Amino acid sequence: MHILILPDGSLRCVYAEAIDLNQLGSPAIQRASPVEPDANGAWHADLGPVSGPVLGPFAQRSDALRAEADWLELYWLAPP
């Protein structure tokens, strides 16, 4: 689990249960992107809420979730 400490002292991470985030303060947990199927049943991860792209289509939701997490680790958790 990677945690980015921002200049204002806030933390950013992809949520996992590897550590108890309450030990670091009061967490504000939210999804980085909606992961939804389209009309054809293909899955997409819309990373627009974190200024990212729409990923997909994927045949399985688990593939879309993995792509979302990979993108977040590479781009959203990169130091400013």
Domain boundaries, the chain: 3-76
Type of residue at 60: Q
Residue with tokens 């992961």: 35
> Tell me: the pLDDT tens digits for 17-66?
899 999 999 999 988 899 999 999 999 999 999 999 999 999 999 999 99
Distances 12 to 25, 34, 51 between C-alpha atoms, Å: 12, 18, 15
- pLDDT of 1 reads 86
pTM confidence score: 0.84
The enclosing H or E element of 46 equals strand 43-46
Q: Enumerate residues 6+ apart whose C-beta is below 8 A from 71.
A: 45, 47, 52, 53, 55
Residue 14 has pLDDT above 80, yes or no: yes
